[in-house]
Structure 1
Amino acid sequence: MENEKVVVNHTESADERITQHSWKDILEPPAKGKNKARYFITPVIIGLIVGILSLVFIDIMDFFTRWSLGIVAHFIPPRSSGFGGGGAQAPYTSAPGYPFMIPLVEGMAGFISGILSYFMIKKPGSLGANKAIRAYHENPESLTLKEAFTTLFTSAMVLGSGGPSGREGAVSMVGGSVGVFIAKLLRQKPHEVREALAIGVGAGLGAMFKAPLAGAIASSEIFFKHDFDIETIIPAFAASAAAYLVVATKVGFSPLFRIGVLPVHSFELRYILWFSIFGIFSGLIARFLLWVFYYISDLFKKLKQPIYVSALIGGVLAGCIGLLSSYAIGNGYGWLQLIMDHKISPGVSELTLGIICVILAMSLNAGSGASGGAFSPTVVIGGLSGALFWHFAKVVSPDVNIPIAMFVVVGMMAVFSVAANAPLSTIVMITEMTGSYGVLLPAMLTVGIAMMFGGEHSLFNAQHDHRSASDHANS
């Protein structure tokens, strides 16, 4: 009985300590010192620097696009509306004027990126975002500015030269490295350095894809398969917003894609059925993508060649794949813009070939160790899958009035959600990239079903299942 009383008294005293608040407490000034640095000063500094470096990346990429693709190969890829495309005066070519130059420029870009990576990066040959994720879990200080700036240049060169790569690899490395550098400069604690890495990654994603809210969410989601690091959300808001403002001030505040108002006035029950089936289709597409990616990556590992040799081979082969479908040259966003604008109407065979070619070219490029990321080509694969499924829906039920743009946007969300194991940030990111809030209902349904059929694998094998499995959580 005495022990029970002690327990009760102990519980009561604990409750009293927890609930002892008064109106005076509310009027106390906000947190001082390091809390302000952690939640505002440090994130804003990180965001501003990451935003500036994102603009540098865009300029380098545009330079190589003009020279390697425009002058050498006589190919002008279409652009999305948020980066100068989609308008009546936006020129593009449907195929390279000198097609034999595409494998050459992609191969040379891969070779040069491999040489620089071989001498400047300790462990080259992985997706940039994957490196940032691994550093977050194992050793944040392993991300250095030297490696980040090397990745920024090489990734911009590979992508600008037609490599089917993504921007998120470079900005993740740069953002994470800047975050670690600033946190160490301000003599912050080890857990705050790790938090700054995550904030920098989110700021880079938010700036590069003009999706600041998604960038903040990604800073807590992308490091885990089934968990969040919620502590990073609040400071990530400030960092992602600052980075986005820097980039948008130069390139504009419009979304990355323009799709207009989707003419669906009533969401009928059969539409739920169509998007449910589309969820299964998207999940299977993502699983096929992951299988091809890891199969080709394993083949390059078995070659046991220096990274510059592997990247050269991967670049040449990816360029050859690009000759079969222009969708597999560069990031491919412009083609999705043209489809949603109804300026091109690719058929079933063209879309099927495009999906296969982008999967193969992205896997050859990334699997060989060439610098870059996987977000952009995976999003393009999802968009093309949506356009392909729209054709299937129209054949089965010709009176379906769901616009093709809706399937394209939802496809972007579903395929990358599965491929990256990051459904929440992906839904928010694509919504911000397209300004298409009207697709949230079908998107949530499709993504949820796609995740069920997508399996446990991810493009980012450095992700941990939960925070408890992370090295720093056990230290």
Structure 2
Amino acid sequence: MSSERPQSQRHKRVTIPAIPEAISAQVFVPFSKVPLLAGLVGVLVGIVGVVLFALTHLGYRYFFGSVGNIEQPEPGGSAVLEKSHSWLAELESMLPTSGSEGPELWVYVIVPILGGILIALWTKLARDNGEGGTEGAIDSYHQKRGKFAPGMWWKKLVASCITLGTGGSGGREGPISAIGAAIGSNVAERFRLTVRERRILLAAGIAAGVGGMFRAPLAGGLLAAEILYSDSEFEPEVLIPAMLSSVASYCVFCLNFGWGSLLSGVAGDYTFANPVELAAYAALAVVLVLGGLMYVRILRAIKALFRKVPATIRPAVGAGLAGVVTLVILLMVNENAGILHSLMGDGYGGLQSALDGTGVWYVFLILAVGKMLTSALTIQSGGAAGLFAPSMVIGGAIGAMSGTLFAMLVPDSWNIHVPVGVYALVGMAGYYAATAKAPVSTVIMVSELTGSYHLLLPSMWVCTLAFILSRKYRMYETQVSTRKESPAHRGDFATNVLDEVKVVDILPELTEVETVREDTPLSEILSMKTSRQAYYPVLSRAGKFVGIFSLNDLRSVLDEQEVWEFLVAADIAHGEVVTVRPSETLSRVAQKFAETQFEELPVVDDTDEKRLLGMISRRQLNSAYIRRMMSYDQARKLDSAQADAAT
């Protein structure tokens, strides 16, 4: 329902009061509210994103630079590294220098444990319910009418700064997406928008988070429309507002940290010119799908394990174990150990090494598997970090590993000369397409990150194959398959409503049936005839279903007085009759009714067609349809009532 004001109020002169009251729905009534508010959401999310980036960057630099004396590679195209005009660089220069002669690896364990303790305290103090990351935003869109708990955005901001600032293995993109979604929802509440419009601004907040933080405004807008579903489905109504908010957030972010792509210049000389390369990219897609399956299973297993750990110590245990894993790997692997420092934090330094191709294949493999473990331990134990950045790093490492092995094993006669960095970039996109079910936006993301369109075809090929081959799993559990299955679109697909209901769903209504044994005389059947039942199932002495007869079948033999007294139920029953199974949809049942003259059909067991479960009639089919449509209508009325109450 629209929340438009009556015509008499639309042109009312607006007097702008003090700042807190000035943000009023009245100001925007003459305009299209949602696009304007989407731009406002983008600006707000961009500002919060700048704060999140700065605080986590400085915190990480202090603990692991000033205290730990650990140097890590960073994305070469990151404008944050261009420090000539960055206020963040000035703040970073004020941090004390380390007095240690070498790296203090103990910080990888102690500092994350400290962060985990602070997270547990903050969660209890702020009463944070744990709604976090992209997964929480998706869940709110589908299941919670686009609403978030009060104050969720600033609670998540503080928690994310603690987790990421103390070295938690995860990314900023997930938290800023959840924060952006909450800001979008809050703006919709403030301007008294409808439930539908609130969901749109929630998605616009997701787009603003990714588009700004990851410097990919077009991909951010597309991702917000695509990430909600696990099948090849888009949410078309959020696309334009998501684009607007993503652009606004990107501009705010780049005004503070400089313009340009995050990975500009990577694989800039590469041009796809040999179709044989598609075979290598196809092999890469298979490896990415297997890696994605491994990561999803690790996430599920560690989540199940942490359910047994008390909530008060869970974040510290998870962060500490992630640090232990990192420390053990660093002590065991000396060669190219600098890459493996990226097992903690967002890991983009290790991704840069993969893109540069500076490493051996087994180190890239260790980086991929290690990042799976450390990020799962951090996030599934309650750390406020996202899965987006780890997925990028894991995919890039798998791509670099595969590219290194291809260079070693593929004969020169095949004329495949693809730089390792290209495999890393394409692997990064294909891995997220497989795990997050977002193939279209990730293809665009590669071009935006590199500032080049030469990788479009390889990215399309790998992302499409990875998406098709990975249909059996998904990283975000709160995704639904299609718009039809989303509560956000309840009632939008009424023409196919019978496809949503199975016979088993209404089976309790179908079991009150009077049956007749096959040797029952016709005279006895006449004495038991009732007006309630028009068709009678016939059972054998062993209780097996053998057929049905109707009252019309009875009437057809009543005039034959010389024979009807000798007839039994089996003589008038129809043995060849269409049956219905509990696993069938009511849509299929409707088709069966259309193909037969019977008003009722027997329902038999899925595995034993001789076991009668009940009878279903055309009337019961219509009743089930009407009930489902009424539930949709009630849901729409509830949405409208809440929207009217808000206005």
TM-score of the two chains, using structure 2 as the length reference: 0.64
**Percent identity over paired residues:** 26
448-457 or 183-192, which moves further after superposition? 448-457
Who is 2:174 aligned against? Answer: 169
1:232 aligns to 2:232 (yes or no):
no
1:313 aligns to 2:323 (yes or no):
no
Equivalent AA in structure 1 for residue 353 of structure 2: L
1:169-318 matches, within 5 Å, as 169-226=174-231, 227-265=233-271, 267-303=273-309, 305-306=310-311, 308-318=312-322
Equivalent AA in structure 1 for residue 41 of structure 2: I
Who is 1:327 aligned against? Answer: 342
1:140–1:248 distance in 2 versus 1, CA, 3 Å = farther
1:471–1:370 distance in 2 versus 1, CA, 3 Å = same
1:132 aligns to 2:132 (yes or no):
no
Q: CA deviation at 1:266?
A: 5.1
CA contact (8 A) 1:259 1:341 kept: no
Q: Deviations over 1:181-208 (max 9, x none)?
A: 1111111112101111111111111111
1:44 aligns to 2:50 (yes or no):
no
Alignment equivalent of 1:158, drawn from 158, 163, 188: 163
Who is 1:402 aligned against? Answer: 418
109-118 or 171-180, which moves further after superposition? 109-118
CA contact (8 A) 2:267 2:419 kept: no
1:35–1:361 distance in 2 versus 1, CA, 3 Å = farther
1:393–1:35 distance in 2 versus 1, CA, 3 Å = farther
**Greater relative contact order (CA < 8 Å, ≥ 6 in sequence):** 1
Q: Deviations over 1:71-98 (max 9, x none)?
A: 22222332212243499x99999x9711
Who is 2:105 aligned against? Answer: 99
Alignment equivalent of 1:417, drawn from 433, 457, 460: 433
Name the SS for the 1:162 alignment partner.
Answer: coil
Q: CA deviation at 1:123?
A: 2.8
Q: CA deviation at 1:265?
A: 4.4
CA contact (8 A) 1:64 1:160 kept: yes
Equivalent AA in structure 2 for residue 56 of structure 1: V
State the alpha-carbon separation in 1 of the partners of residues 102 and 376 from structure 2: 22
CA contact (8 A) 1:170 1:373 kept: yes
Alignment equivalent of 1:438, drawn from 440, 451, 454: 454
1:3-18 matches, within 5 Å, as none
State the alpha-carbon separation in 2 of the partners of residues 374 and 395 from structure 1: 32
Alignment equivalent of 2:380, drawn from 367, 383, 395: 367
State the alpha-carbon separation in 2 of the partners of residues 319 and 270 from structure 1: 42
State the alpha-carbon separation in 1 of the partners of residues 352 and 32 from structure 2: 41
CA contact (8 A) 2:267 2:422 kept: no
CA contact (8 A) 1:107 1:313 kept: yes
1:54 aligns to 2:25 (yes or no):
no
Runs of 4+ in 1 over 4 A off after TM superposition: 32-35, 89-93
State the alpha-carbon separation in 2 of the partners of residues 107 and 431 from structure 1: 38
CA contact (8 A) 2:315 2:382 kept: yes
CA contact (8 A) 1:114 1:370 kept: no
Q: Deviations over 1:279-303 (max 9, x none)?
A: 1111111111111111111111133
Q: Deviations over 1:106-150 (max 9, x none)?
A: 1111221232123424532x6511111111112245414522212
1:211–1:314 distance in 2 versus 1, CA, 3 Å = same
Name the SS for the 1:438 alignment partner.
Answer: coil
CA contact (8 A) 1:54 1:171 kept: yes
1:107-122 matches, within 5 Å, as 107-122=113-128
CA contact (8 A) 1:78 1:85 kept: no
1:144–1:429 distance in 2 versus 1, CA, 3 Å = farther
Name the SS for the 2:256 alignment partner.
Answer: helix
Larger helix fraction of residues: 1
1:266–1:190 distance in 2 versus 1, CA, 3 Å = closer
Count of paired positions: 437
236-245 or 155-164, which moves further after superposition? 155-164
Equivalent AA in structure 2 for residue 207 of structure 1: G
Equivalent AA in structure 2 for residue 309 of structure 1: I
Name the SS for the 1:99 alignment partner.
Answer: coil
Q: CA deviation at 1:34?
A: 5.2
1:96–1:380 distance in 2 versus 1, CA, 3 Å = farther
Return the index of the structure with the highest Cα Rg. 2
Name the SS for the 1:448 alignment partner.
Answer: helix
1:385 aligns to 2:398 (yes or no):
yes
Q: CA deviation at 1:260?
A: 4.1
State the alpha-carbon separation in 2 of the partners of residues 77 and 266 from structure 1: 32
State the alpha-carbon separation in 2 of the partners of residues 225 and 334 from structure 1: 30
CA contact (8 A) 2:80 2:258 kept: no
75-84 or 43-52, which moves further after superposition? 75-84
Unaligned runs of 5+ in 2: 1-26, 84-88, 330-339, 491-634, 636-647
Alignment equivalent of 1:69, drawn from 61, 64, 69: 64
State the alpha-carbon separation in 2 of the partners of residues 404 and 146 from structure 1: 45
Equivalent AA in structure 1 for residue 49 of structure 2: S
Unaligned runs of 5+ in 1: 1-31
78-87 or 458-467, which moves further after superposition? 78-87
State the alpha-carbon separation in 1 of the partners of residues 69 and 401 from structure 2: 29
Who is 2:78 aligned against? Answer: 82
1:135–1:362 distance in 2 versus 1, CA, 3 Å = same
Q: CA deviation at 1:395?
A: 1.4
State the alpha-carbon separation in 2 of the partners of residues 453 and 149 from structure 1: 39
1:437-456 matches, within 5 Å, as 437-456=453-472
